[in-house]
A and B are shown apart, each in its own frame.
Chain A
Amino acid sequence: MPHGPPAELKMASTPALRPNRMNAARRLLWRADRRFSPYVYIAPFFLLFIGFGLFPLLYTGYVSLTNRDLLRPGVETYTGLANYRELVGDDYFWNTVKNTLLLMVMCSVPQLVLALVLAHILNARLWLRTLLRMGVLLPNVTSIVAVALVFAQIFSRDFGVVNWALGLVGIDPINWQSGDWTSRSAIAVMVIWRWTGYNALIYLGAMQAIPKELFEAAALDRAGTWRQLWHITLPALRPTIAFTALVSLIGQMQLFTEPLLFDTSPGSVSGGSARQFQTMSLFMYEEGFRLGHLGYGAAVAWLMIVMTFALAGIGYAVTRRAVGTTGAVA
């Protein structure tokens, strides 16, 4: 059983403790380093954010307080919170909130579970494991054009693969776009297909920190794959799972591409003939770009940000124990 830092990673310098004879200048440098280096290290991110992330945010925020028309820049008037008030009372908006949240649950949960299972399996010494590991990432590599094409074919009413398979067991052809739950299920399939490998790779990376000996010992005890997954992999990966859950939540709140592609009506952003799968970002796009109500669309964007925060906060509070220590020692 391993204990303590392994030889490979220990630096070769410890045998004799260096005498702490630093002169004043060095001590000053040392303190400055301890104090300021963190800020230097995080600076690139924040500089870029201030440069390119903050302006769009503030611009959108400002626009949301006006009645700005998309194609009439400069003549908008300040309307305060009017857009937000209208939004809160807007049935169409709450419909999209419902759709987004439903899709979030339908997509995230299976995706993460599958990703975990896949990563666990891929962690072992499988034959052709590298090809398999790369293989699961292919959906994310596949271009949008191909994805749209393939899934349009698969969920096609008259000649699609799924309806054909259902026909074999005597079920009538389903119009996947038209139904509330059928459309959401189809979109969930698209999202899960596309993002499971992505998360599996992240889990795979994190699993490398689990000592191989643990798995070997478990195998010696004749514990099967699933037992190993449950008792060894899962506890080690809790923080990573929390991380992917957070990222998935944020991504699902902004779900845009898959529902857009799924709507067969050309160029439609209404999420189906009855808005059955219109998500918040589609709604934002429709209001801002198709109808030209940029102020209203900006309000949707900001409300989305606030809601994402709220949800993420709730999620964090619920899983707080699982996040793990921050381990600030240096």
Chain B
Amino acid sequence: MNARKLDLMVVASAVAWAVVFAGAGCGKGGGSSAGQGSDKGVATAEKTTSPKAEPEAKPPTEAKEKIKLTINDFGVFGYKPMFAEYQQSHPNIEIVESVNEYNTHHSNLINHLAAGGGAADIEAIDEGFIAQLKARPEQFVNLLDFGAGELAKNYPEFKWHGSLSADGKKQIGLGTDVGGLAMCYRTDVFAKAKLPTEAAEVSALWPTWEKYVETGIKFKAAKTGAAFFDAATNLYNGQVFQLEKSYYEPGTNDVIADKNPGIKAAWDLTMKAIAQGLSGKLVAWQPDWVTAFQKGSFATITCPAWMQGYIKEQAPGTAGKWNIAAVPGAAGNWGGSWLTLPAQGKHQKEAYELAVFLTAPAQQVRVFKTVGNFPSAIPAMHDPSVESFKDPFFNNAPTGKIFGESAVNLKPQFQGEKHGPIRKAMEDGITRVEQGRQKPDESFAQAIKDAARAAR
């Protein structure tokens, strides 16, 4: 092919792609739908506990100072329609949202906090990072100063404590959603193993984690070819979440991972499950794990509310084959976020008012209806649309009730500053045993050593 022809080819393809750009770029989706004004009325009525934020009759001549509020979040919080409403009712406020990928969002936030600038007025923080960040409460506005204390009763205890500082005097966040915890299971695989398939019966199979493992042993004996659960770390974490004390002596910086009998018991049970061959030895979100969903390579998985959307998206062919039972202990939580106000922010009062609006129970219900995030506010959980929610994909399991109850039942657990890295150290230990790299005792000793190091 001579030079000229190649040139022409390149230019032709460039033109073709330009057309693609143009075609895709034009016909952008229509703007967000106009307000659902009635809901706002409900919201203001329910906000009896929040500081007065509504503007009364606006004197048309008085121009309030124009304020731009920035909010950074990740994933899908579903706030866009609410921004439009809020800006209508607060004409001097402009809201600018930036959405980023989960890890990028949090590392950006941490970098901005470390550099002393660049954070938004409102920052969303996920459960995975809250322990590290609430240990530095001076970086955030203490919402109690703005009267957030009145909101405490709206939340399950663990959610309120999740963003509370160690001394209990500083509240840095308002809860947005929770994951709750339930046990999703494959009815077809259970049927093959001659286990009951109705949710109530299945929940009765495992009131405790020990019984869960026993069921697993029975399941294994039925030789269906599937593993009982996907990864042992979920079994471990499910137990640890329910402990009164986990890695830290509450309110202190003392690591008690090695001394805490609850941790050891959780570890030992997990090791037993691995030894019995119950684990699929998969890693969440990896291609193998996704394929395992589709093929039914594992029978149960601890699932929070947000996992449902994932299952539906990744394994649509399994519709109707899932059901949801209670998790052993009927209490747990995996995931969920808070809205926080970095201390760097210049418009703290206005930001607080916006945050209260966004996390108000009425808004949480709306978010649940549009995006599926499970509410963290108890009044929202009891909203009929939430409580009676059923999904045919999951055999119409009463997910609204199950997740709500698991969240409400969960006792608050003090999570010290290095809770995240310590948890990772323990999880690595479990993975090492699953991978056959180390024996359980060695691995536990190594994990404790790593945990101590992480906490130094």
Contacts and interface: CB of A to CB of B under 8 A. Distances in A.
Interface of A: 70-73, 92, 128, 130, 152-153, 156-160, 175, 178, 264-268, 270, 273-274, 289-292, 294
A175 B435 contact: yes
B288 A274 contact: no
Interface residues of B, number: 39
A270 B107 contact: no
Contacts of A268: 424
Interface stretch (B33-41, B108-116, B218-226): B108-116
Given A175-B435, A291-B454, A265 B128 contact: no
Given A264-B285, A292-B417, 19 more contacts: A70-B110, A70-B114, A71-B110, A71-B136, A157-B288, A158-B292, A160-B287, A265-B283, A265-B424, A265-B428, A266-B284, A268-B424, A273-B428, A274-B428, A274-B437, A289-B107, A289-B110, A290-B420, A294-B114
12 contacts: A70-B114, A156-B288, A159-B288, A178-B436, A265-B427, A266-B103, A270-B428, A273-B428, A274-B438, A289-B110, A290-B421, A291-B418
Contacts of A267: 103, 128
Nearest to B113: A71
Given A70-B114, A291-B421, A156 B437 contact: no
Nearest to A157: B288
A158 B432 contact: no
B167 to A, nearest CB: 16
Contacts of B454: 291
Contact of B435 (A92, A159, A178, A294): A178
B114 A73 contact: yes
B287 A156 contact: yes
Contact of A273 (B1, B103, B432): B432
Interface of B: 1, 6, 103, 107, 110, 113-114, 116, 128, 132-133, 136, 138-139, 283-288, 291-292, 417-418, 420-421, 424, 427-429, 431-432, 435-438, 446, 453-454
Nearest to B453: A92
Interface of B is mostly: helix
A264 B286 contact: yes
B450 to A, nearest CB: 9
B271 to A, nearest CB: 15
Contact of A152 (B132, B133, B138, B287): B287
B431 A265 contact: yes
Nearest to A127: B1
A299 B66 CA distance: 45
Contacts of A130: 6
B116 A73 contact: yes
Contacts of B427: 265
A175 B1 CA distance: 46
Closest 8 CB pairs of A and B: A178-B435, A273-B431, A71-B136, A273-B428, A264-B283, A158-B288, A273-B432, A264-B286
Contacts of B138: 72
Contacts of A273: 428-429, 431-432, 435, 437
Nearest to A145: B101
B110 A153 contact: no
Given A71-B114, A268-B424, A289-B107, A274 B432 contact: yes
Nearest to B425: A270
